[in-house]
Amino acid sequence: MTRRQFNMALGATAVTASALPAVGRAETPDALIAQPGLARLAPADYPETRIWGYGGTAPGPVIHVPQGGRLVRRFVNDLPQPATVHWHGIRLAKAMDGVEGLTQAPVEPGADFLYDLTAPDAGTYWYHPHRRSWEQLARGLSGVLIVDEAEGAPEVDRDEPLQISDWRLTQDAQIAEGFDDLHDRAHGGRIGNWITVNGTPDYRGTAHRNERLRLRVVNASSSRIMVLEASGFDGWVVALDGMPLEAVEPLGRIILAPAQRADLIVDVIADQGEDAYLAMLDRDGGYQIAAWSVDESARSERLPAPEALPANPVAALGPLDTARTADLRMEGGAMGSLSGAIMNGQMTSMRDMAAAGRVWAFNGMAQMSETPLIEVARGETVRLAIANDTSWPHAMHLHGHHFRQVLAEGTLGPLRDTLLMDRGATADIAFVADNPGDWLLHCHMLEHAAGGMMTWLRVT
């Protein structure tokens, strides 16, 4: 497999990035400042990329919180537009969920907001804006959030977060504009032309043979579905979307929709002098996105297989046959049959929808409805029947809860916060609505959310 970046159309001559406005606010330990910065996303013969980042870096800092502990950050907005922070996958109090217009007013440029939340579940999460997220994430605002196990953390030699980002760069390695592009919205979203792992196109570490790593893989892209394969590693998937699997699963091909995470425990089995690597597969084959040079053995033999991670305190589902139910029909997009949907209280033609940037609908609504998809009492088990009546895959994300897919014969899938649904697919998801508040349910292909794929639930 050769190392290459696909579709990469950077020109041969480097262009110097123009100077950035100076940002003068001092970082205090509990501040999280969103601000412009420069990042070395492209190789050294290209200019640095002007990004927006937490702490001015892309990705932002890896944040650790002990399970059950508090995460307190004063979010400071030094961007030229309003912003919020959403702590993706954390089952937190509604006021801290960071959703513009639903849980808080956006933080204006120059203003700040104190996020103070408790993280009940150990695992791998991430944070990103929830206001013009399709632009703000694409400019670099995202970071990994790790909630460390209170007890029962697996024994590993090293714990490595791997945030995979998909950038759309211009010839001089700058972030391409066109965030509201209707073609992207109506198709597969803003798919980039440049992949980084932890902000670098050439992620390389070292590892010892027979060393055991915990790799926390995060798909932090706007819309790219990632298909990954490991080589020179043997191991297990131990958690998805932060939540431990009840039994560890042998490592195979990993598919991550936007916003999904996988925790892997892997042993280095490549020989000294070889590489262990992670590859991203696409239509034309695949390419390495992260590599580890393997040197002498850490131990003479591999460690015994790991146990499952300790379960998080997620309520068990109540009876499914008496659960509260709602249907959600996803329609629209290119090659779809949607002719119109409700916008601003009126039936609106697809053409007029498109003029307003809306090309999708949930239950015939091309924008957030004033009333929730369903209103349930705290503690009720909820079952949603979702139908993807479009020609595109979607990544359905529920805020404030993790859910399980109800599979054939009543078997249940793993706890997740984001579900990849293929074109034409249906899925039944169930969860205990034990977190009071208003919670979004949307496609995490961010251009799709911008284009109408958003609804919400109320738990009273």
Q: Select the binding partner of residue 443 from ligand C2O, Cu ion, none (C-beta < 5 to 8 A, by kind).
A: Cu ion
Strands 374-376 and 454-459: parallel
Tokens 């007029």 map to which residue?
A: 352
DSSP code for 274: S
Q: Which residue's CB is nearer to ligand C2O, number 162 or number 259?
A: 259
Q: Kindly list the distances between the CA atom of residue 437 and the CA atoms of 207, 378, 440, 458, in Å, as whole numbers in the listed order.
A: 45, 9, 10, 6
442 near Cu ion, rule: CB under 5 A = no
Provide the CB-side half-sphere exposure for 425 (13 A, CA). 15
Q: Enter the tokens of residue 150.
A: 């209170």
Distance CA 21, CA 109 (A): 14
Q: Which residue's CB is nearer to ligand C2O, number 144 or number 440?
A: 440
**3-state SS, one letter per residue, for 235-255:** EEEEEECCEEEEEEEECCCEE
Q: Select the binding partner of residue 39 from Cu ion, ligand C2O, none (C-beta < 5 to 8 A, by kind).
A: none
Tokens 């089952």 map to which residue?
A: 91
Shortest distance (Å) from residue 238 CB to ligand C2O: 22
Distance CA 120, CA 325 (A): 27
Shortest distance (Å) from residue 418 CB to ligand C2O: 8
DSSP code for 350: H
Shortest distance (Å) from residue 266 CB to ligand C2O: 26
Q: Which residue's CB is nearer to ligand C2O, number 87 or number 236?
A: 87
Tokens 């492209």 map to which residue?
A: 42
Distance CA 416, CA 120 (A): 15
446 near Cu ion, rule: CB under 5 A = no
Q: Select the binding partner of residue 259 from ligand C2O, Cu ion, none (C-beta < 5 to 8 A, by kind).
A: ligand C2O
Shortest distance (Å) from residue 92 CB to ligand C2O: 12
Region of residue 121 (left: phi > 0; alpha: psi -120 to 50; beta: else): beta
Q: Which residue's CB is nearer to Cu ion, number 146 or number 445?
A: 445
Q: Select the binding partner of residue 448 from ligand C2O, Cu ion, none (C-beta < 5 to 8 A, by kind).
A: Cu ion
443 near Cu ion, rule: CB under 5 A = yes
Q: Select the binding partner of residue 88 from ligand C2O, Cu ion, none (C-beta < 5 to 8 A, by kind).
A: ligand C2O
* Cβ count near 124 (within 10 Å): 26
User: Residues touching Cu ion: how many (CB under 5 A)?
Assistant: 4
Shortest distance (Å) from residue 454 CB to ligand C2O: 9
DSSP code for 10: -
Shortest distance (Å) from residue 54 CB to ligand C2O: 15
Q: Select the binding partner of residue 86 from ligand C2O, Cu ion, none (C-beta < 5 to 8 A, by kind).
A: ligand C2O
**CB-count exposure of residue 422 (10 Å: 0-12, 13-18, 19+):** exposed
Shortest distance (Å) from residue 281 CB to ligand C2O: 24
448 near Cu ion, rule: CB under 5 A = yes
397 near Cu ion, rule: CB under 5 A = no
Shortest distance (Å) from residue 209 CB to ligand C2O: 37
Q: Which residues form the interface with ligand C2O (CB under 6 A)?
A: 86, 88, 128, 130, 259, 397, 399, 440, 442, 444
Q: Which residue's CB is nearer to ligand C2O, number 50 or number 185?
A: 185
Q: Quick one: which of 228, 445, 454, 457 contacts Cu ion (CB under 5 A)?
A: 445
Distance CA 429, CA 331 (A): 18
Is 367:343 a contact under the CB 8 Å cutoff?
yes
| Mask for 398-437, x = binds Cu ion (CB under 5 A) | ----------------------------------------
**Applying CB under 5 A, which residues contact Cu ion?**
394, 443, 445, 448
